A = this chain, B = another copy of it.
C-alpha cells in the first residue's frame, strides 16, 4: 500500500537507501537516547550530529527538500532541531532571495561552505504576529555610512530564533529602517553577532539562550539585544529596497515573489505535521495490538485493547487524519509548483485561493495533529506518559506548529477575510471563482439525500459538507453586515470573529475531505482502495458528526440521517479493525523515526521498556547521594527515638 503514500516506488526505494546510509554511519548514533541527556549534553550531541549531517549531505538530493531533505534530517536529528536548523531553513533562502548580486557573491559562499552559521531574527519579546510594530531600529548614519542597530526597550529583544542563543555567528535581523529622519518599516539586515575566532559576542550585542521549553530542547533558541551596534550600509539587503550612500531611501517595486516561498514552507510544515500524527497513530495502534486488558468473557483471556470500540473510536480517526493531512501536503506542494510556474509568466490568478487554503491548512492541520497525538498518547494509558513511548516528545514537537509560522487563530481570521470577500462578490453577482471556492457561488439541494454509509458516495458527502460550509460562511457574513450597521468595522469584525473562524475551519475541512476522496480515486488496486475508502468515509463522517447541529439546521439533515452518520462511524470502525495495523504500517515509518519502545515494529514492548529505563541517569548509581544526605539522617534519628 505504501507506494501510494510515499508516492512512486523510486521514492520508497530512496527512503530505504537513505535509512541504510544513516544507520550505517557511526556519526549519527546517539550515545544514549536523547531523552536521558541533560539539556547541555543534548545541545552538544545535536551540534556534533548537525555538523556530520551537513558534512555528509551529498548522500541526498538537496533540491528535494520536501522529500529527501526532511526525511534525512528527521532520521538524524529526531524531533530535536539543532543550532543550524535556521541556517538552512531561513538564513540561506533569505540570502538567496533578498541579496543584490554583489551581496550574493560575498555572502553565499560563506553560507554554503558553512564558514559562518546564520539564523533569522524577527520575532521580539513583545511582538510576534504584528510585524509592523517591531521595535528594533536600524538608523542610517550618512556620516559613517553605517546603520546603527538598537533595541530601545526590553520588549524589542529578539526572542525565539533557533540557534541564536549559542550557535549562530550571524543573523538576518528585521528592524525598523530609519533614514533621513523617517521610518520606512521593517527591513532585513545581515548582521554579525559573534567574533569568528573566539565566538564571543561583538561589542554592542547581548545574546543568550531563552531557557527550557515544552519541546525542542536540543535547540538553543535565543534572545538578542543591540546597544547602538554599527553595521556597514551594505549589510542592508538591497535586492528590493535600497538606502543610498546619502541616506536616500529607494522603495521596492511591488513583489509577490516571497509569497511562493511561504506556500512552500507551509507544504513542508503540513507534511511534517502529518508525519508526526502518523507516527503517533502507528505507535498507538501497534501498542493497542500488543496490550491486552480486560476479559469480557470470563476465562477466555484478556483481549487486545484495540478490540474495544472506545479505543477504535479514539485511534482510527487519527489514522484517517494522518492520511488526509499527508494527501493535502502533497496537494499543496503541487499547487506551489503550479503557482511558481504561473508567477513566472506573470499569472497571479491562483494567488488568492492558494493563500486561503495554505493559511487555513496550516492552522487546522497543526491543531488537529496536536489533538490527535494526545488522543494516541492517552490511548496508551500510563505508558503513554513515559518518554519510552516517544509520544510526549512527538506532542511537544508538533504542538509548536499551532503557534509558529502564524498563530492559528490569526491564520483562521486571515482566511475569513478572504472568504468574506468571496461572499461579498457572490452577493453582488460578480464573483469570479476558481476551483477551491467555486462551491460558494453554487446552490445545492435544500435537503441531503444521505441515508446510510453503505450506499453513500463521496459526491454526496462532499455536496452535504459544501452546503454546511457555505451556510456558515454566509451566516457569519450576514452577522458581520448586521453589526457593521451599528458599530465600527473593527468592532463588527471582532464581534463576529468566533463565527468567522468557524467558517474558515469548515472551508478547510471541506478541502481536506475532497482531496482525500480524490486521491483514493486514483488507486486502481482494489486491495488498497477498499480500506482506504473506508478510512476516507470515516474521515468524512467524523467531520459531519462533529458539525452535527449545522447539518440539522433548516432541516438539511433529519435526526434519522444524523443517527445514520454515527451508526456509519461504528460500522466503519468494525470494517477497519482487520486492516488497522496494515494502514499504519503503510506509513513506512522505521523504528528509528518512531523512536518509541511502545511502537516497535517487532512488538517486543515490555522487555525493552526495562532496557530503556535502565539508561535513566538515576539508575547509574544503586544508591543516590540523596540517601546519605537527606533520608538516612532522618531515618536514623527516627529509629533512635522509637
* Residue from B408, B488, B495, B606 within 8 A of A378 (CB atoms): B408
- A381-396, CB under 8 A of B: which get 1 and which 0? 1101111100010001
A212–B391 Cα gap in the complex (Å)?
12
A382–B402 Cα gap in the complex (Å)?
9
Asked if A144 lies at the interface with its beta carbon under 8 angstroms from chain B, I say no
Stretch from A61-69, A71-79, A527-535, A623-631 forming part of the interface with B: A623-631
Q: Chain A: residues with CB nearer than 8 A to chain B?
A: 35-36, 38-40, 43-44, 47-48, 50-51, 54-55, 83, 109-110, 113-117, 123, 125-130, 132-133, 154-155, 157, 159-160, 165-167, 169, 196, 198-201, 208-215, 220, 223, 291-297, 302, 307-311, 313-314, 374, 378, 381-382, 384-388, 392, 396, 399-400, 402-404, 407-409, 413, 488, 490-491, 493-499, 501, 548-549, 551-554, 559, 562, 566, 570, 606-607, 609-610, 612-619, 622-627, 629-632, 634-635, 638-639, 641-642
* Residue from B44, B396, B549 within 8 A of A624 (CB atoms): B44
A260–B374 Cα gap in the complex (Å)?
32
* Residue from B128, B130, B623 within 8 A of A199 (CB atoms): B623
Task: Give chain B residues whose Cβ lies under 8 Å from the Cβ of A615.
Answer: 211
Task: Give chain B residues whose Cβ lies under 8 Å from the Cβ of A295.
Answer: 130, 132-133
* Residue from B382, B499, B642 within 8 A of A128 (CB atoms): B382
Q: How many whole Å from A255's CB to the nearest CB in chain B?
A: 24
A166–B623 Cα gap in the complex (Å)?
7
Query: Considering residues A403, A551, A566, A615, which has the most beta carbons from chain B within 10 angstroms of its beta carbon?
Result: A403
Quick check: A631 and B297 within 8 Å, CB to CB?
no
Quick check: B613 and A211 within 8 Å, CB to CB?
yes
Quick check: B214 and A385 within 8 Å, CB to CB?
yes
A302–B307 Cα gap in the complex (Å)?
53
A-B pairs, top 9 by smallest CB distance, nearest first, are A548-B549, A115-B638, A113-B638, A296-B490, A209-B618, A549-B549, A214-B392, A47-B626, A211-B616
5 further interface pairs, Cβ-Cβ under 8 Å (given A113-B638, A213-B387, A378-B403):
A154-B610, A167-B627, A196-B639, A297-B490, A307-B494
Task: Give chain B residues whose Cβ lies under 8 Å from the Cβ of A127.
Answer: 293
Q: How many whole Å from A559's CB to the nearest CB in chain B?
A: 5
Copy tally for this chain in the complex stands at 2
A39–B551 Cα gap in the complex (Å)?
51
Task: Give chain B residues whose Cβ lies under 8 Å from the Cβ of A387.
Answer: 211-214
Q: What are 17 A-B pairs with beta-carbon distances under 8 A?
A: A44-B624, A116-B635, A125-B606, A127-B293, A128-B381, A166-B618, A167-B626, A200-B623, A212-B386, A215-B385, A220-B618, A296-B494, A308-B497, A309-B496, A382-B403, A382-B404, A552-B559
**In this complex, what residue of B is CB-closest to A157?**
B610
Quick check: B133 and A43 within 8 Å, CB to CB?
no
Contacts known (A48-B630, A616-B209); A609 close to B165, Cβ less than 8 A? no
Task: Give chain B residues whose Cβ lies under 8 Å from the Cβ of A549.
Answer: 548-549, 551-552, 562
Q: How many whole Å from A33's CB to the nearest CB in chain B?
A: 9
Q: How many whole Å from A314's CB to the nearest CB in chain B?
A: 8
Quick check: B43 and A618 within 8 Å, CB to CB?
yes
* Residue from B169, B313, B396, B607 within 8 A of A154 (CB atoms): B607
Q: How many whole Å from A99's CB to the nearest CB in chain B?
A: 17
* Residue from B130, B208, B407 within 8 A of A614 (CB atoms): B208
A220–B125 Cα gap in the complex (Å)?
36
A396–B391 Cα gap in the complex (Å)?
12
A627–B83 Cα gap in the complex (Å)?
11
Quick check: A211 and B388 within 8 Å, CB to CB?
yes
A419–B625 Cα gap in the complex (Å)?
52
Q: How many whole Å from A313's CB to the nearest CB in chain B?
A: 5
Q: How many whole Å from A561's CB to the nearest CB in chain B?
A: 11
Quick check: A51 and B630 within 8 Å, CB to CB?
yes
**In this complex, what residue of B is CB-closest to A109?**
B642
Q: How many whole Å from A156's CB to the nearest CB in chain B?
A: 10
A641–B114 Cα gap in the complex (Å)?
11
Contacts known (A497-B308, A618-B208, A622-B200); A634 close to B302, Cβ less than 8 A? no
* Residue from B213, B619, B626 within 8 A of A209 (CB atoms): B619
Task: Give chain B residues whose Cβ lies under 8 Å from the Cβ of A167.
Answer: 626-627, 631
Quick check: B570 and A495 within 8 Å, CB to CB?
yes
Quick check: A570 and B610 within 8 Å, CB to CB?
no
Quick check: B501 and A617 within 8 Å, CB to CB?
no
Quick check: B385 and A213 within 8 Å, CB to CB?
yes
A83–B629 Cα gap in the complex (Å)?
14
**In this complex, what residue of B is CB-closest to A217?**
B387
